[in-house]
Structure 1
Amino acid sequence: MTTASRAMTQLASWPDLAEAQPSCGIGRALRSAGAEIAHFHSDRNVDLHLTARTIRRFENDLTDSTAIRLVPGSHWVTIRLECDADIDLLISLVSVALQAHQRWPDSDDAPSARCNDQSSAALARENTGDG
């Protein structure tokens, strides 16, 4: 079982999430009552709809993680799942995403509807620290 399928299995059991067809048409998705939350595009990549406000709020923490890629202007982050710690990170961020969509839903659906898989501008953020 791949890391993405293990994560999908865990998250699909959450009562606030349901499996759905992703709006981008690629892979599998999980959605809440109000929004698409995650797109599982491959055995290792997941796009997570955090909302622009949440990304701004946690931007420093998100850019510090080598498992996370940000796309400027996107309401989604891409998480590379390579190990159990990356699954744990995804699960924590899904909880944050669900809360964000309940408290501060994106006011403009046009940018948020496009996940990062449709953007060729996905940029890997690297740690800039020395150690």
Structure 2
Amino acid sequence: MTLAERAFTQLAAWPDLIEAEPSCGIGRALAAVHGEIAHFHSDRDVDLRLTARTIRRFEEHLKEVPAVRLVPSSHWVTLRLDLAVDIELLMTLVSLALQTHQSWPVRDDRPTAECNDRQSRLLPRENLSSG
């Protein structure tokens, strides 16, 4: 079982999450009452929808984590699951995403339709670096 499969199985058991069809059409998704929370695009890559406010609040910390990739102007954060500790980070960020979305809507923080998987195809690779 891959790390992404293990993480998906754990998160799908959470009472606030349900499996959904990803809006981008790639992989598998988990959604909450207020919309999609995570897209599992591959055996390693997961896009997690946070609000712009939450990303700004934790941006400096997120930039320091090698497993995290931020895409400019995106409300999605990409995690690369290479180690078991990356699953723990994903669980923490999903919990944060759920808390954030429960207080939705946040003024001037409208969700973007496209996750990072689609946006990353449009941006040069150096723009995807978190550092």
Task: Give, in whole Å, the separation in 1 of the partners of 2:114 and 2:101.
Answer: 16
Shift of residue 14 of structure 1?
Answer: 0.1
Shift of residue 27 of structure 1?
Answer: 0.2
The equivalent residue for 2:30 is: 30
Task: Give, in whole Å, the separation in 2 of the partners of 1:113 and 1:2.
Answer: 27
What TM-score do the two structures reach when normalised by structure 1? 0.90
Query: Is there any run of 5+ residues in structure 2 with no aligned partner, and where?
Result: none
Shift of residue 30 of structure 1?
Answer: 0.1
Task: Give, in whole Å, the separation in 2 of the partners of 1:124 and 1:46.
Answer: 16
Task: Give, in whole Å, the separation in 2 of the partners of 1:20 and 1:104.
Answer: 20
Task: Give, in whole Å, the separation in 2 of the partners of 1:84 and 1:105.
Answer: 33
The equivalent residue for 1:129 is: none
Shift of residue 113 of structure 1?
Answer: 1.6
Task: Give, in whole Å, the separation in 2 of the partners of 1:59 and 1:51.
Answer: 12
Shift of residue 96 of structure 1?
Answer: 0.2
Shift of residue 86 of structure 1?
Answer: 0.2
The equivalent residue for 1:117 is: 117
Where in structure 2 are the equivalents of 1:75-94 lying within 5 Å? 75-94=75-94
Query: Is there any run of 5+ residues in structure 1 with no aligned partner, and where?
Result: 127-131
Aligned amino acid, residue 80 of structure 2 = R
Pair 1:7-2:12 in alignment: no
> Residues 104 and 56 (structure 1 numbering): CA distance in 2 closer, same or farther, change over 3 Å?
farther
The equivalent residue for 2:48 is: 48
The equivalent residue for 1:108 is: 110
Moved over 3 A (4+): 104-107
The equivalent residue for 2:19 is: 19
Shift of residue 105 of structure 1?
Answer: 3.3
| Aligned partner of residue 85 in structure 1, secondary structure | helix
| Aligned partner of residue 14 in structure 1, secondary structure | coil
Aligned amino acid, residue 13 of structure 1 = A
Percent identical residues: 63
Aligned amino acid, residue 78 of structure 1 = T
Q: Root-mean-square deviation (CA), in Å?
A: 1.2
Task: Give, in whole Å, the separation in 2 of the partners of 1:95 and 1:50.
Answer: 10
